[in-house]
């Protein structure tokens, strides 16, 4: 959870940081963008390196650097040094967030893997919900640097947890060579697979619609809804609660409903949420709670259903390159989210309708990618003479 947790924990401190660093609201948005850009840049390497040296070393080193980077953020004298620390946080956080997903597929497959990936999605969903809430509570004890001191403490706790509790799940006989050619070759092998792009972009666009509200929470909650620094829970509790419900439903459906049909249900749920979000944003209830968060909560519900299943579908494309698959899919999603944070949120995110419109574009794009993937599979099965798989459900 440390990757998404680190995105929005500082949000409640933005007002203090704006006064004390000093910095404008637009400049503080770089606190999110720089973190995401660094996370994305390094994400393509965490997985392949773990394929070569094992899962535990990558996680331990990443978390250790993360803790040190958090301390650097806490002692930053100005915005420039704070952004350096955030970049280091982003470069290191993926060592745990990305590699941990491969551990499940190292050990399990089928319905068991789906249930466990659903639990990961639950934890992944909790992180951005409690991040700003904890950040707001920490601010009651002192100034903004304490938020980053807390993150450093979390990093230390997780280092100990990995060292003491997590076994190595990637044995030596299954590892790849730690050479530049091997690492790059594995990434290129994944990147050349069309099915990978259809699935990866489906999940990236669907979650990107939700991330628009996560990355722009400081604008949406304070400027659009007119709430205070302790009121981020009014957005995150229903949104992440819905994602957790979707993840729970996905786990319960494991072995009972096929991954393909379950993903179609999730995509449709998110699409409906996007439509409802626009209808509410265009009405007099646009800035009224709880109506203002109904649409994005339905988007999150759909994400909770689709995320575990699409992750497993992606991993099953390259059983021998699990780390590379996770890294490449994470890279695409993070680049999309970073672009959204710097180019979309400041412009379209100035009103409820702007947020809702951008979110609808995301869920519609994700729905189309999934429909495209199912159509290609149906065609390939028909050509092979095995008949079509169950039809994709568009709406």
DSSP state of 219: I
pLDDT value of residue 65: 94
pLDDT value of residue 379: 84
Q: Which domains does the chain have, with CATH numbers?
A: 2-384 (1.20.1250.20)
pLDDT in tens, 338-353: 777 777 777 765 788 8
% residues pLDDT > 70 (the chain):
95
- What contacts 24+ positions apart, CB below 8 Å, involve 134-143? 134/9, 135/8, 135/9, 135/10, 135/11, 135/12, 135/13, 136/12, 136/229, 136/230, 136/232, 139/12, 139/13, 139/16, 139/229, 143/16, 143/20
pLDDT in tens, 11-56: 888 888 888 888 887 788 788 888 888 887 887 787 788 888 888 9
User: How does residue 75 score in pLDDT terms, banded at 50, 70 and 90?
Assistant: very high
Picking from 124-133, 229-238, 349-358, which range would have the lowest pLDDT averaged per residue?
Answer: 124-133
pTM for the whole thing? 0.74
How much is the mean pLDDT over the chain? 84
pLDDT value of residue 388: 46
pLDDT in tens, 102-129: 888 788 877 788 778 777 877 777 777 7
% residues pLDDT > 90 (the chain):
26
- What contacts 24+ positions apart, CB below 8 Å, involve 116-119? 117/307, 117/308, 117/309, 117/311, 117/312, 118/247, 118/248, 118/250, 118/251, 118/254, 118/308, 119/247, 119/251
pLDDT value of residue 156: 95
Among 253, 333, 258, 312, smallest CA distance to 102 is for 312
pLDDT value of residue 229: 67
């Amino acid at each position: 959870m440390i990757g998404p947790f680190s995105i929005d924990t500082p949000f409640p401190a933005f007002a203090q940081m704006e006064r004390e660093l000093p910095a404008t609201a637009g400049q503080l948005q770089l606190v999110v963008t720089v973190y995401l850009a660094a996370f994305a840049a390094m994400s393509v390497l965490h997985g392949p390196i773990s394929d070569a040296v094992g899962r535990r070393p990558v996680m331990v080193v990443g978390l250790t650097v993360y803790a040190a980077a958090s301390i650097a953020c806490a002692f930053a004298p100005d915005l420039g040094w704070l952004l350096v620390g955030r970049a280091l946080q982003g470069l290191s956080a993926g060592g745990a967030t990305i590699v941990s997903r491969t551990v499940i597929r190292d050990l399990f497959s089928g319905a068991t893997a789906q249930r466990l990936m659903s639990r990961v999605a639950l934890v992944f969903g909790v992180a951005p919900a409690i991040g700003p809430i904890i950040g707001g509570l920490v601010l009651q004890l002192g100034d903004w640097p304490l938020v980053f001191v807390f993150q450093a403490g979390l990093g230390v706790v997780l280092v100990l947890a990995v060292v003491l509790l997590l076994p190595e799940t990637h044995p030596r006989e299954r590892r790849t060579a730690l050479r530049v050619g091997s690492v790059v070759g594995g990434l290129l092998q994944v990147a050349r697979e069309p099915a990978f792009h259809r699935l990866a972009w489906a999940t990236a666009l669907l979650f990107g619609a939700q991330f628009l509200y996560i990355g722009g929470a400081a604008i949406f909650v304070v400027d659009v809804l007119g709430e205070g620094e302790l009121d981020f829970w009014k957005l995150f509790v229903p949104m992440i609660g819905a994602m957790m419900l979707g993840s729970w439903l996905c786990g319960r459906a494991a072995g009972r409903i096929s991954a393909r049909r379950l993903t179609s249900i999730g995509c449709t749920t998110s699409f409906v949420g996007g439509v409802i979000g626009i209808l509410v944003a265009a009405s007099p209830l646009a800035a009224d709670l709880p109506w203002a968060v109904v649409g994005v909560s339905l988007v999150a519900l759909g994400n909770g259903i689709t995320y575990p299943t699409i992750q497993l579908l992606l991993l099953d494309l390259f059983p021998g390159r699990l780390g590379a698959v996770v890294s490449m899919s994470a890279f695409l999603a993070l680049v999309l989210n970073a672009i959204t944070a710097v180019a979309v949120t400041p412009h379209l995110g100035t009103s409820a309708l702007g947020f809702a419109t951008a979110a609808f574009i995301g869920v519609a794009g994700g729905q189309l990618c999934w429909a495209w993937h199912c159509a290609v599979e149906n065609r390939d099965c028909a050509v092979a003479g095995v008949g079509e798989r169950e039809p994709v459900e568009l709406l």
